[in-house]
Structure 1
Amino acid sequence: MRTVIAGGHGQIALRLERLLADHGDRPAGIIRRPEQAEDLAAAGAEPLLLDLETATPAALADLLTGADAVVFAAGAGPGSGADRKLTVDRDAAVLLADAAELAGVRRYLIVSSMGADAGAAYPDDEVFETYLRAKGAADDAVRARTTLDWTVLRPGRLTDGPGTGLVRLAPSTGRGAIDRQDVAAVLAALLHEPATAGQTLELTAGDATVAEAVAAAAGRD
């Protein structure tokens, strides 16, 4: 299975690439800096150089040729201003959807955020409000595509532990934290479970194994 990951040098993306490569899949990651290529190669992923903030759908579609799935794991990151929340967290996700349609790639996973909502209101924190609105708008745009087999994953507060392998995955989980390693593990499992298409799922630490949680989400428990 060939999976192309937008935001291929991100913390979740690098973990996902390692998991997919170890599984025998063929991950590729989209990066915008050539010096990031070595890290992707070390993770077992093919580096693909493209700036998602300036690329056209056709240029991105060329990189998706032969892909079975795409994952949007890009983000403007901490310290970025409101403008880049829009150009990366929202617009680049829509760009990937456009390119996937052009390339004939149906499976689309998007890493969103708990609380994402195009109408979110945080008057005391303009940047955070813009971030949640951008994520929510991206989710809405992806879910509107009838040509895509999409899954929206909304993790809780991200932490950097080694991962426990125990999660809670459901349309609504309540607030909670989740290690990035466990987010990557859930993404890898979702990619191989087509019955989770068409769902928006929240993710926190829990008491079910990743396999159990994804099987339940797919109606296979």
Structure 2
Amino acid sequence: MKLESIRREYKLAELSKKNVDKVPIKLFQQWMEEALNLEMPDATSVALITNGTDGFPQSRIVLLKSYSGNGFVFFSNYNSQKGKAIAADPKVGLHFFWPELERQVRISGYAEKISYSESEHYFHSRPFNSQVAAAISDQSYEVPSRKFLEDKFETLKNELNESNPECPKHWGGYLIRPVKFEFWQGRENRLHDRIVYEKENENWNIKRLAP
């Protein structure tokens, strides 16, 4: 099959500037809840885009763990590639894609670390093996082999004897404080709906973009 022959129409919903809430997080909450209610696989997965320390943009999938009017929270190793990129330039992007709903949301904002106590609380809510994996992984650094990782994992598990590991100081959450949202709803004939919120002081300006 030739790739240029693959196409489909988008007919599920529409998005009107007249009907959206003045606060973008409310529309995001509505869309997220609809995705979760459909039991979509990985509905909370989101592409995180950073400006890499090598000058190239970098994108990877992370899992959204909470959101509010203040922003969006995910967790990672602060010494990872994404952590170093955020330390050098806190301007980041988030990109949610829910194909079953024919929807996308793009968010631009500034990343900052959450408190250690908040990170610690979430760390100890994770499954025990996930805690161990985070404790032994020097994320993004070269390792000699898979066996090297598995040996470190088993060594720490044996040392802990089912006690929880300490939350590493180099592991924790980031809060993305948004300054721009773009909500995309697929429509027929490629005349998609695109509604943008841009923050000015404490207010959100709303506009429609051509598809």
Task: Pick the structure with more strand per residue.
Answer: 2
Indicate the structure (1 or 2) with the bigger Cα radius of gyration.
2
TM-score scaled by structure 1?
0.27
TM-score scaled by structure 2?
0.28
Q: Which has the higher contact order (CA 8 A, sep 6+)?
A: 2
